[in-house]
Amino acid sequence: MDTTILLLALATCASTLIGGAIAIRLRKVLHYFFAFSAGALIAVSFLDILPESIDTAQLLGFPIRYIFIAVVVSFFVYNLIERAFATHHIDKDAHGMTHGHIMGPIGAGGLVIHSFLDGVAIGSAFQLSPVAGAIVALAVISHDFTDGINTVVVMLKNGHTSRNASKFLIADALAPVAGLLIISQFSIDPVILSVILAVFVGEFIYLGASNILPETRQHTAWKMMLLMAVGITVIAVLTSFI
């Protein structure tokens, strides 16, 4: 792997870890991160992932309607999953051990896969040209900071320990590197990639609007709305450079 690409890959790791570490360190004010993360997840869905999915589909002549069907089906399926496991939400066994909601690992796992695809995007861009690769890499590094926060927030909000959140955070940080390594050896069918991205849109909209946002209603409304607006603004600014 080229030294420049390797350094950029390591930068994505650092960006993700820093964002997640801040969320873990400041978990006493985690409700602020809930509001920020809800805004960021919804914004990244509409301003980053969905446009990319549509652009890829249009380029290949793949019906856009199927992209939106994938979004709707994904949203429905994640709602179904959470309802199916609702009785297991942050419960304790006979030994007093806490068991978090399954939506924690599911949501964080989705973010890890998304980060993996970020690495694939960086590698694919570098195959086009070093300049294109550097631009995509810098964009990924920028929003990986919020990805780290989102990964931790999704785990902690669903009753999981900081230790388990840290495991997913590390996986999320390493995922872009794995994506870079694999894309250098293999390629993903662009049509399949566009559908996968659409699935992420449905998942992240559900996580942001239905799984995380309700938690903010227990706190001062204007503060939560302000932090949500900050999350949206950060993603809007970052995606404007892509």
Q: What is the pLDDT of residue 95?
A: 42
Per-residue pLDDT tens over the stretch 179-224: 888 887 777 788 888 888 888 888 889 888 887 788 788 888 999 9
- Two structure tokens written together for 231: 């999350």
Alpha helices in 129-220 (DSSP H): 130-157, 162-183, 190-206
93 dihedral zone (left: phi>0; alpha: psi -120 to 50; beta): beta
Among 237, 235, 239, 241, CA closest to 40: 235
Which residue is associated with the tokens 């890890």?
112
- Two structure tokens written together for 23: 């969320």
Question: Do 91 and 149 form a contact (C-beta atoms < 8 A)?
Answer: no
The model carries a pTM of: 0.70
- Buried b / exposed e over 158-169, threshold 16 CB at 10 Å, is bbbeeebbbebb
* Mean pLDDT within 91-110: 65
For residues 40 and 227, give the distance between their C-alpha atoms in angstroms, rounded to a whole number. Answer: 10
Question: Do 171 and 41 form a contact (C-beta atoms < 8 A)?
Answer: no
| Domains of the chain, residue spans | 3-26+33-87+99-239
* Mean pLDDT within 81-106: 58
Question: Do 103 and 231 form a contact (C-beta atoms < 8 A)?
Answer: no
Per-residue pLDDT tens over the stretch 130-172: 765 676 677 678 678 888 988 998 898 888 888 999 999 999 9
